[in-house]
Amino acid sequence: MLTNRIIFVLLLLCAGAVSAQVYKWVDEDGVVHYSDQPHPGAERVDIKQNTFRAPSAGTQPARGDAAEQSQPDRPFAYESLTFSSPTAEQTLWNIGGTLNVTLSLSPGLRNGDRVTLYVDGASQPIAGLSTQLEEVWRGAHNLQAEVVDANGTLMIRSDPIRFYVQQTSVQN
């Protein structure tokens, strides 16, 4: 019973933090200020929610051309695996710790094949060719992806990319 009360109080406290307001004003020197407290002449800033929705994690059927179908003994091979988002050397601003990653794979991902994403060297299996990563904070980060078949055999590996996350500071 006490646990339920504690959880209820924590939820009420979190709701207050979510509904906090941000105010913006410009001083006599032209410096822009932001605060959570109203200031004379300040205007309320509407903070927009993240509206990105990752595509469904379903796999795409392999596209076979006539040459592949006429040579059944030729092993299947992917042609390319690249990052659509983020791109190499891209600087991302104010992502709130949430990074949307999208891969391009040609031909499409075959049933049974799996994608692994390496975020700063740590592996993270993903379903399909897109995912949303949490807790990606400011700084430089590295991404690389690979596709393995059902037996764990490496099919293709992307080139590594480096990207940067910047966060606007309220104090600056």
> What value does the mean pLDDT take over residues 108-133?
94
**Is 155 within 8 Å of 148 (Cβ atoms)?**
yes
pLDDT tens by residue, 48-98: 665 555 555 554 555 555 444 555 667 889 999 999 999 999 999 999 999
Is residue 114 pLDDT above 80, yes or no? Answer: yes
Is residue 40 pLDDT above 60, yes or no? Answer: yes
Q: What is the pLDDT, as a whole number, of residue 102?
A: 97
Sign of the alpha-carbon dihedral angle for 130, 90, 137, 124: positive
> What value does the mean pLDDT take over residues 8-30?
69
Give the CATH number of domain 74-166; options: 3.30.300.180, 3.40.50.300, 2.40.30.10, 2.60.40.10: 2.60.40.10
| pTM confidence score | 0.57
> What value does the mean pLDDT take over residues 122-140?
94
- Which residue pairs, CB below 8 angstroms and at least 24 apart, start in 116-124? 116/145, 116/146, 116/147, 116/148, 117/143, 117/144, 117/145, 118/142, 118/143, 118/144, 118/145, 118/146, 118/160, 119/143
Q: What is the pLDDT, as a whole number, of residue 68?
A: 46
**66 or 37, which is more confident:** 37
Q: What is the pLDDT, as a whole number, of residue 126?
A: 94
The encoded tokens of residue 97 equal 């710790």
Q: What is the pLDDT, as a whole number, of residue 67?
A: 46
**13 or 88, which is more confident:** 88
Q: Which residue is associated with the tokens 């993240």?
A: 50
- Domain ranges, ordered by start, for the chain: 2-45, 74-166
Q: How many CA atoms lie within 13 A of 48 on its CB side?
A: 5
